[in-house]
Amino acid sequence: MFIDNVKTYYTKDGEQRTTSGQFLCLLSCDDLPIGPDNFRGIIVATKLSQFGHWMMGSCKIEGHKLTLSGTYGEDGLTMTVPHDIFELGTPLPPELFEAWSKGRGWNDAGSEGLSIRQWAIDNMKVIKTKQRKGGKL
C-alpha cells in the first residue's frame, strides 16, 4: 500500500505503472503463528508495474530480495519473512490486527485499509528510524 502521493501513468500499450514511492508492507515471521504478536509493518521505497492483472514490484531488505504484489506487498495478506527482516518491522497495535483479520479484504485491503494507512502515515518517522538502526536497506 503506497502511503504517500504516488503518480500513476499508463504506457502506450495500456500497462499501468507507478513512480517510486513509500510502500507499506505488512510482515509476519516465518517461524511464528500469525497473530497480534506476529504482525508488523515496514516501509520500503519501490515502484510497481502491471504484470497481467496484478501490480507487482520488488525491494531489497538486508540482502533479501522481496517480491511485492498488490496491497501490503502480498495482495492484502502479510508477507511471511525471515526473522531478521521481521525484527526491522514496527509492531502494529493489536486493534489493527483485529481489524485486518476481520476486514474481509480479498486480493486487496479490506475495511481496515484506511486505518492501517493512517497508522503508517502517523508513524512513518518511527518506522523509518527503526529500519536504519536495524541495518542497511
**What's residue 85's pLDDT?**
92
Residue ranges per structural domain of the chain: 8-134
Q: Chunked in runs of 10, what are the mean pLDDT values of the chain (137 residues)? A: 82 81 93 94 89 87 89 93 93 96 86 95 81 50
CB neighbour list of residue 45: distance below 8 Å, 6 or more residues apart: 20, 21, 22, 23, 59
Q: Using DSSP, state whether 120 is helix, strand or coil.
A: helix
What kind and span of H or E run contains 58?
strand 54-61
Bridge partners of residue 9, in order along the sequence: 17
- At 84, which amino acid appears? D
Burial environment of residue 109 by CB neighbours within 10 A (0 to 12, 13 to 18, 19 or more): buried
* Residue range 40-71, pLDDT digits in tens: 999 998 888 888 888 899 998 888 899 999 89
